[in-house]
Structure formats: C-alpha cells, structure tokens
Amino acid sequence: MSIVGLVDAGGANLGSVRFALERLGVDVRMVRAAGDLDGVQRVILPGVGAAAAGMARLHAQGLVQPLRELQVPLMGICLGMQLLYERSEEGGVDCLGLLPGVVRRLHPAVGIRVPHMGWNKLLALRPSPLLDGVPPGASTYFVHSYAAPVTADTVAACHHGGLFTAVVQRGALCGAQFHPERSAGPGARILRNFIETDFQ
C-alpha cells in the first residue's frame, strides 16, 4: 500500500483531505517535520488561508527545503498549489519556487464575485494522467481569492473573470486549485490518478 505524506500546513481542509485519501485505501502519514517525509511514496500539500501564513508555517516546521528537494511526486491543493509557484501577490511572499509564475488576486467585476466560491467547470488544455477518467467539462468545488496564471504547465483551466490554472502538472509536480476532497467523483478520480500514476 502506498504511503502518502500529508503536510500539516495548518489548513482547515487537512482533516477532509485525510478522510478522502483514506476512502481511497491510502495509508496516510501526517508530515510536521522533515523526518516525516522518509519512506513516503507521495506527498500532498493542502492548505487554505493566506500565502504568507502558509509559508511561515512551512519555514517553522523546517519543510521548505525538503519540499523543494523532494524526490517523490508532490501535489498541492488550493493554497498548497499556489505555494508551489515562485511568488504570491498575497502578502508579497516568496513561495516554494517549484513552478514558474506569480499567483495574483482575482479581479471582481459585474457578476464576478471574489472570493470565487462554488462549483465551476474544468477546461482541459492538454493531456495529463491526472485527468484520466474525468469527464470533459466536469465541475469541481473552488474557494479562493488568488490564482495561478495559465502557463505551459497548465493541464486544465477555469474561468472566473478570466482564465486561471485549475490543474497543473510538470513531471511529478502536480496541483489542483479546487478542493478535490469536496468535488465528488471528479475530485476523487483526480486524487486516485495522482496516487496511482507512474510519473517516471
């Protein structure tokens, strides 16, 4: 059975992500220090809240450099995905720098509320094992005010006052801006795909 390291980044979604993984038959290990990463086959970085607070917690736990040097597949969820990028406008904080790009605030407009909260459709932009078995136009559940730009690493985008990255993959580095643990069948399938895919 795969051991998935679940980083305790202080997010309120930690418990629900753990339950979602356990429903998939995964052995979950909580990661609160670098030594907890030893022997895991996958790592998931969840998170909600502000980028500066999330990075401060990772620094305090001594996890920033170990995550940057990780040799197993890594998936960020919601704020955790944003922390994979170089920098966030939210607090002007340097992030993990594993993906190129700056996370920027969504812009409210007529009919466009920020935070972006609720179900929205995924727009697949390129093939990825993360989307295997996910129906075209599937909806997932979002709660966020900041978002990553669409780049060559974007697997699927979403539209809310403009396009932003909803699913990202560069090699074994993956991310979901939405909450897969709250996104019913499509979310569970994306989590399973991350756990079961051979990214080599």
Q: Report the SS3 class of residue 116.
A: strand
Catalytic annotation, residues: 78, 179, 181
Q: Between vectors from CA 85 to CA 81 and to CA 86, what angle results, nearest 5°? A: 155
Alpha helix locations (H) across 34-183? 51-60, 64-68, 79-82
CA gap 38, 60 in Å, rounded: 19
Task: Compute the Cα dihedral for 127, 133, 137, 143 and give only its sign.
Answer: negative
